[in-house]
Structure 1
Amino acid sequence: MTTGVRRRMGVDERRQQLIGVALELFSQRSPDEVSIDEIASAAGISRPLVYHYFPGKLSLYEAALKRAADDLAGRFVEPREGPLGARLLRVMRRYFDFVDEHGPGFSALMRGGPAVGSTTTNALIDAVRQAAYVQILSHLGVTDPPARLELVVRSWISLAESTALIWLDGRRIPRRELEVQLVHDFAALAAVSAAHDEEMGALLRGALADEPADGPFTDLVGRLVALAS
């Protein structure tokens, strides 16, 4: 974080600096607890100069959320190479990297923070969810998903969000266990849907076709068999 250092910057450079400073502060504490004075001090500029670039704390907050949302959406980008289970596990690890590094900021993004119900905040959250949805479909090689598949994928994304938010409240379960559990959750949701729909069954069989013996999906099957024994 830049502190107490004044130097001349261009308009866009200064705006980006302020967004970065605000995002770092919002990642450490709830945005409600961060003042414009703190942001100005951390950026090495005066309070009036902050208002020169942003009309108020809400506009700066929304700009910081936009950067965080873009970062979070990018965590779902994964090359379509290798078994699906391993790909989803890498996605979940990057997702929880973000959650771990930006705890209060993540909570503010998902819950709306000081901008609860604002059009901008809702649009940012929806954009993250849609980016995640599109990426998961790409991993499955599907461009026109049937209704049951859409339900599974969107339900899983919501589950990942709620799991991360609950985990942040005390971190009582080891993070690595939750990452694997969420991959298992995806397989379980897909399997239940496949039990009711042949099209989903074909998609699931295709996804599992190249799953290795040490993959997370195979691990889930082993755990369920052991549980039923």
Structure 2
Amino acid sequence: MTTGVRRRMGVEERKRQLIGVALELFSHRSPEDVSIDEIAAAAGISRPLVYHYFPGKQSLYEAALRRAAEDLAERFVEPREGPLGARLLRVMGRFFDFVDEHGPGFSALMRGGPAVGSSTANAMIDEVRQAAYEQILAHLDVTTPPARLHLVVRSWVSLAESTALIWLDGRVIPRGELELQLVHDFAALAAVSAAYDAEMAEILLRIVADEPAEGPFGDLLGRLMGLGTRLPGQRVP
């Protein structure tokens, strides 16, 4: 027969518990809609005890944000094996897993929420973007990117972020289609840039040389070639 006596938590263990509880609540509702009382109730402690560990909701939100940021950054980590298109597709799958699991929290993080104007929160968001940027460069086997590649990768990371936010508003387009489309977007951005720059052309040719016809990049090429059969006035050969 159990006595119902709770085990006393140490300071760090209690902080981790509160961060986990807050992150779970922020994942289902916008942070500004979650109260300290709700966090305390979910953690099974009193409101004053929450304030004993965190000065206020802002500091707890930023601690939860730190954990979420670290988790999100890890979604871009992928073994550097096999064709790039397949690697990027797996990365996008894990990225949208995070967005799906933490929808309102992800939206609040990227659009504002209670951390608006917080230099700490903004720095964490930038860290996630930087981690994603560095991972993509590593997949491209580039340590010092030329200016146009820097632009392509930064633009693509921003595009993935904005696409996820738009998708959350109604989830109209099937998630799997968006994941593949974002991989195609990366290839398209790189191809357009390669048309203007010899270094980018060399990088692009190196990428596509290892791409199978049945991979994401081969799929894009097939879709583009198929457009000619559907355009008005075009003859089917």
* TM-score range normalised by the length of the shorter chain: over 0.9
Q: Which residue does the alignment assign to 1:204? A: 204
2:202 match: secondary structure: helix
State the 1:212 CA deviation.
0.8
Cα pair 1:76 1:135 within 8 Å, conserved:
yes
Q: TM-score, normalised by structure 2?
A: 0.94
Q: Which residue does the alignment assign to 2:223? A: 223
Q: What are the within-5 Å matches in structure 2 for residues 1-229 of structure 1?
A: 6-229=6-229
Structure 1 Cα separation of the partners of residues 209 and 120 of structure 2: 42
Which of structures 1 and 2 has the bigger CA Rg?
2
Structure 2 Cα separation of the partners of residues 49 and 19 of structure 1: 14
Cα pair 1:5 1:43 within 8 Å, conserved:
no
Cα pair 1:6 1:44 within 8 Å, conserved:
no
Two-structure CA RMSD over aligned residues (Å): 1.1
Structure 2 Cα separation of the partners of residues 56 and 5 of structure 1: 28
Q: Given the superposition, is the C-alpha separation of residues 225 and 205 from structure 1 closer, same or farther in structure 2, using an over 3 Å criterion?
A: same
Q: Which deviations, in whole Å up to 9, do the C-alpha atoms of 1:134-177 show, x marking residues without a partner?
A: 00000000000000000000000000000000000010000000
Q: Given the superposition, is the C-alpha separation of residues 5 and 144 from structure 1 closer, same or farther in structure 2, using an over 3 Å criterion?
A: farther
State the 1:185 CA deviation.
0.1
Cα pair 1:6 1:45 within 8 Å, conserved:
no
Structure 2 Cα separation of the partners of residues 114 and 228 of structure 1: 50
Cα pair 1:112 1:122 within 8 Å, conserved:
no
Structure 2 Cα separation of the partners of residues 227 and 38 of structure 1: 54
Q: Given the superposition, is the C-alpha separation of residues 63 and 5 from structure 1 closer, same or farther in structure 2, using an over 3 Å criterion?
A: farther
Alignment-mate amino acid for residue 148 of structure 1: R
State the 1:209 CA deviation.
0.9
Cα pair 1:69 1:109 within 8 Å, conserved:
no
Structure 2 Cα separation of the partners of residues 196 and 117 of structure 1: 38
State the 1:112 CA deviation.
2.6
Q: Given the superposition, is the C-alpha separation of residues 199 and 102 from structure 1 closer, same or farther in structure 2, using an over 3 Å criterion?
A: same
State the 1:110 CA deviation.
1.2
Cα pair 1:191 1:204 within 8 Å, conserved:
yes
Percent same amino acid at aligned positions?
81
Structure 1 Cα separation of the partners of residues 14 and 87 of structure 2: 38
Number of residues of Structure 1 aligned to a counterpart in Structure 2: 226
Q: Which deviations, in whole Å up to 9, do the C-alpha atoms of 1:3-60 show, x marking residues without a partner?
A: x994310000000000000000000000011000000000000000000000000000
Extract unaligned runs of 5+ from structure 1.
none
State the 1:109 CA deviation.
1.6
Q: Given the superposition, is the C-alpha separation of residues 100 and 136 from structure 1 closer, same or farther in structure 2, using an over 3 Å criterion?
A: same
Structure 1 Cα separation of the partners of residues 43 and 77 of structure 2: 32
Stretches of 4+ aligned residues off by more than 6 angstroms: none
1:172 match: secondary structure: coil
Q: TM-score, normalised by structure 1?
A: 0.97
Cα pair 1:32 1:114 within 8 Å, conserved:
yes
Structure 2 Cα separation of the partners of residues 5 and 200 of structure 1: 65
2:213 match: secondary structure: coil
